[in-house]
Amino acid sequence: MRVIGGSAKGHRLAKPPSVVLRPTADAVKEALFNILADVTGKRFLDLFAGAGGVGIEAASRGAAKVVFVDKNRRCTETVFRNLRRCGIDEGHECLAMEVGRALRLLSHKEEQFDVVFLDPPYEEGLVEKTLQDIVRSNILSDDGCVAIQHSVREPVEEKAGVLILERERRYGDTVLTFMKFEQRRCVHGKSCGLSRFVRPHNERPSGHHQEGVEVFRQDDRPCRL
């Protein structure tokens, strides 16, 4: 495993001892970041992180903060070592816990991420469950993206709550699927000229809703009732 872009390009990454991993292939990782484009200054969440190859790639390419989640403490300890090895260990965080619990913790802390990447063990039914947990947790920013690496034999549904499938790319037996919030017009049927990724009030992060105001903003102008 190695970093293929950014400030830490070329650095080799250690693997956690006695842990069987399925690291993201370089070609798939390159495709992922080509599609994500510029991650500079963005907040990146790496779920089922393993040795942290994808999240470290994001940090190397300028992500402002990367949070790595893996229930195996050997994995998160290896992520820390790899970050230090690459000289990019400032400002990032590792959570050694089950993904659902980590999402609840991040939600409680009102954390928001521009990119949520998940690469769960293939064909164990974890993709759809994790997508539902992401929707419930409110940790995805309004214009954020969920990127899923999964087996071609475990297709992702076109809709998961308020998330909709935006695009898919296949690389052998591996598929990259990208999801975002569904885009609709103002729910009151008004022709206000504003288009927004819409979430129900009870699924919006705290602080994003004021009494009597629907926050469908592209240019900081609310659509008032």
In this predicted structure, the answer to whether residue 28 has a pLDDT above a threshold of 70 is: yes
CB-count burial class (<10 Å; 0-12, 13-18, 19+) for 191 = exposed
In this predicted structure, which of 77-86, 98-107, 178-187, 213-222 has the lowest mean pLDDT? 213-222
pLDDT exceeds 90 at position 219: no
Instruction: Please tell me which residue, 92 or 19, carries the higher pLDDT value.
Output: 92
Q: Residue 198: pLDDT above 50?
A: no
Say if residues 179 and 163 touch (Cβ distance below 8 Å).
yes
Spatial distance between the Cα atoms of 45 and 139, rounded to a whole number of angstroms = 9
CA distance 59 to 57: 5
- Find which of 17-21, 66-70, 194-198, 212-216 is predicted with most confidence, using mean pLDDT: 66-70
What does pLDDT average to over the chain? 83
Closest among 119, 213, 136, 131 to 175, alpha carbons compared: 119
Q: Are 45 and 116 in contact (CB under 8 A)?
A: yes
For residues 169-193, average pLDDT: 72
Q: What pLDDT is stored for residue 205 in this prediction?
A: 43
Residue 184 banded pLDDT, cuts 50, 70, 90: low
Q: What average pLDDT score do residues 179-207 get?
A: 50
According to CATH, where is 3.40.50.150 located in the chain? 26-181
Whole-angstrom distance, CA of residue 20 vs CA of residue 40: 31
How is residue 89 written in tokens? 């260990």
Distances (CA, A) of 192 to 22, 27, 171, 218, 223: 48, 44, 42, 12, 7
Largest CA distance in the chain: 59
| Most confident by average pLDDT, 19-33, 142-156, 193-207 | 142-156
Whether pLDDT at 7 is above 60 = yes
Residue 21 burial class via C-beta count within 10 angstroms: exposed 0-12, middle 13-18, buried 19 and up: middle
CB 177 within 8 A of CB 147: yes
Name the percent of the chain lying above pLDDT 90.
70
pLDDT at 213: 30
Instruction: Look at residues 41, 49, 123, 115 and name the one whose alpha carbon lies nearest to residue 79.
Output: 49
Give the architecture-level CATH label for domain 26-181: 3-Layer(aba) Sandwich (3.40)
| pLDDT above 50 (res 97) | yes
- State the average pLDDT over residues 20-41: 91
